[in-house]
Each structure stands twice: as structure tokens, then as C-alpha cells.
Amino acid sequence: MTGYRFGPHLILESQVFFKSNLSIGIVNLKPIAPSTPIIDVLVLPKRNTPRLADLDRDETVDLMLSAQKIGNALEKHYGCTSLTMTIQDGPQAGQTVPHVHMHIIPRKAGDWENNDDVYEELDKKKQGVDNEDRTPRTEQEMSQEASELRPYFGLD
């Protein structure tokens, strides 16, 4: 099987929905908000790099432009009006995989009782709650989601 490294994890090609020269967009194994019909995705550099400061200029620019493209497509796909985009840069910031990645979370009015509760979900690791409380999705679920998103980027 072919794929990409995401820290110590292998990301299968079936989980990838976006590719640029230096970045990829992948579906999330353990979404931030699995109880909503909207799932967050990740954008990450192809090079396995732990911290944002480790990226070179081209990788940094590509990551941000990729996030912009992915965000625009997610708003269309999910009928959303906003996005939460966040990078947890290092373990003390809640980063659970030592590879630069940005969460892109499509948002709708009322999706969390308090708007900033999304950050509580992102900060659970920092609060001593491990990522283990999130139920991992099946390969089939992730493959289906990636398949729905690929046409926005000409990867169908």
C-alpha cells in the first residue's frame, strides 16, 4: 500500500482528498466533533516535519494556500458559513502527532453551545485528557469522506 507519513502513522492514499506540490489534505481518524454531521479535516506538509518553524518558506506558503483552497471547498460541501483553522504547534499546545498539521473545522451557527467550546475539544490533551476518548473511524468511513471531497480538487 502506498501513502504518506504523518508523524509515526501511515496515511493511506484512500484517506487523501487534496494534493499540492508540498502539502496534502486528509480526513481525520479521530474528528474533533464526531457527533456533528460535519467532520474536520487536516492539511499537512508532505515532508514529515514536527514544528511549524521547521518548514521552509515554500512549504509554509503552500500549507496556507492549501488550507485556503480546502476551506473554500469545505464551506461549499457542507453548506457552512465559517471555518475554524488551528495549528497546535508542539506538545504543550496540544499537538498529538509530531508532524505540522492544521485542523480545518467547518462551522455553522449553533454547532457548539458556546463558540469557543471548539477550543476546549482541541485542548483536551493539554488538560490531561488523551486523544484516546475519541472513537477512531473505519477505513471505509474515511475513504467515503475523502471520495466526496476529491472532486473539488480534480482528484476524482
Q: Hey, which residues are catalytic here?
A: 101
Confirm or deny that 68 is annotated as ligand binding.
Answer: no
Confirm or deny that 131 is annotated as ligand binding.
Answer: no
Rg (CA), the chain: 15
Confirm or deny that 97 is annotated as ligand binding.
Answer: yes
Confirm or deny that 60 is annotated as ligand binding.
Answer: no
Confirm or deny that 96 is annotated as ligand binding.
Answer: yes
Helix residue ranges per DSSP H, 50-156: 57-78, 117-122, 139-149
Closest CA to 79 of 113, 101, 111, 103: 111
* Stretch (H or E) spanning 5: strand 3-6
Q: Binding-site residues, please?
A: 9, 28, 88, 94-97, 103
Q: Binding-site residues for substrate, please?
A: 9, 28, 88, 94-97, 103
